[in-house]
Amino acid sequence: MAEKTHSNNELLSHLFRVEYSKMTAVLCRHFGLNQIEIAEDIASETFLKASEVWVINGIPENPTAWLYTVAKNKTKDYLKRVKIIETKIKETIRTNDFLRTEVFIQSEQDFDFRQQTITDSQLAMIFAVCNPAISTESQICLALQILCGFSVEEIADAFLAKTETIKKRLLRARTKLRKDNFQINVLLETTIKSRIDTVLRTLYLLFNEGYFSKSNNNLIRKDLCSEAIRLALVLTENPLTNTPQTNALLALMCFQSSRFDARIKDTGETILFEQQDKNLWDKELIEKGNYYLVNACSVNEISKYHLEAAIAYWHTTPTNKKKWEHILKLYNDLILIEYSPMTALNRTFAFAKVYGNERAIKEAEKLNLNENNYYHSLLGYLYSTVDAEKAIAHYNKAISHTKSKTEKKTLMKEIERLNKKRNSS
């Protein structure tokens, strides 16, 4: 019995992650975005019923179809209840804009969970969540909760934040979301053009939150990356959002994800690029990255996603002798398009590969990012072949500026290695 329950829970957990957001999107398309809580309640009740029924009757032959059938029936039951209330106290309900009962009743016949409806609803929901009026951090939190089905606790884990902080952030964002008169049933070309940059940026940050996450939860990190890729794939399925930038971003995600398993040891420490076991790289993801990068270059357009995808591409080609020269040139171009401290630090690493650590140290120190843990990590790496004492000093500064247990463990290993090297010489 215990084994059966465990199997049910595993399947439900997987289906919840995959189908909950799709279900919510379709229900919001039906009810309206300002009633997102009703949509989420029906979706949650559907999975709750599955957890109760499947333990007794077993897993149905088609679990996904079972869930959507239950969701459809629960929606009809809800609409009937509203209709009864509307009939009994019609005038009172009519003045309540929040319920909008007449719209519910009129649209009942149009309600469905066909694949095209799901795809269209998800696309519209992505654009609804990526509202320029909502702060960047809140957009990512909303995307994780509404589009990806993450719990508040999982989001807090990903951000290394308190659950109360995430709750407050989500509450403020949801209030703005409800007040925004965004039409989720029809996604206009003008809306797409006005929000596509925000959408791509949110998905980019969502992916980075997983790939460069400070969280010690490896499963959460992978899930974040997987969800960002899934949502980007939704964009490629619509002609209006299947743009060169979208394909470039998806190529970047595929290339980066291909090295995921090679970046982390079983003990939790980060493995530097040069020390990674290339046999662990996912060749299928690399091939997909190549495919989307070719699609991205179908027109004469260059964006930051094109340049970052090209950099990631060169990282997956370890045999090319001029690889780092290509990467350095791409970083030079990227800095001109959009400067950021992380881009500058990554460029310096590539500079070291081309011109050596001593020249790279001078380049790095020009940045003067004394409060940045990555800055000190880089200088520690660069000094490790030049001056072990200075390398250790920078690694210690990096440790003092990071909250990540994984990163601290990696840096301490480097300090230990340099101390052994000093003592043996």
Give a yes or no: residue 243 inside a domain: no
Is residue 235 within 8 A of residue 242, CB to CB? The reply is: yes
How many domains does the chain divide into?
3
Q: Which residues contact 388 (CB under 8 A, 6 or more apart)?
A: 418, 421, 422
Nearest-angstrom CA–CA distance, 351 and 359: 8
Q: From 91, 111, 131, give the residue that closes a domain.
A: 111
Residue among 107, 130, 159, 134 nearest 234 (CA): 130
Whether 86 and 155 map to the same domain: the answer is no
pLDDT 10s per residue in the chain (425 long)?
555 555 677 788 888 878 898 999 999 888 888 889 999 999 999 999 999 999 888 899 999 999 999 999 999 888 888 877 767 655 554 555 544 444 444 444 456 788 888 888 889 999 988 888 888 888 889 888 888 888 888 888 777 789 999 999 999 999 988 888 777 777 888 888 889 999 999 899 888 888 876 666 665 678 888 889 999 999 999 999 999 999 999 999 999 999 888 887 766 667 777 778 888 889 999 999 999 999 999 888 899 999 999 999 999 987 778 899 999 999 999 999 999 999 999 999 999 999 999 999 999 999 999 999 999 999 999 999 999 999 999 999 999 998 778 788 889 999 999 998 877 76
Give a yes or no: residue 252 inside a domain: no
Give a yes or no: residue 268 inside a domain: no
Q: From 215, 237, 264, give the residue that closes a domain.
A: 215
Whether 107 and 120 map to the same domain: the answer is no
Q: From 215, 236, 252, give the residue that closes a domain.
A: 215
**Which domain CATH number covers 422?**
1.25.40.10
Q: For the whole model, what pTM was predicted?
A: 0.82
Give a yes or no: residue 292 inside a domain: no
Q: Look up the domain containing 44 and give its range.
A: 1-111
Q: Please give the structure tokens belonging to residue 406.
A: 């994984």
Give a yes or no: residue 269 inside a domain: no
Nearest-angstrom CA–CA distance, 285 and 217: 22
Distance set, CA 214 to CA 137, 209, 210, 270, 276 (Å): 15, 8, 8, 11, 19
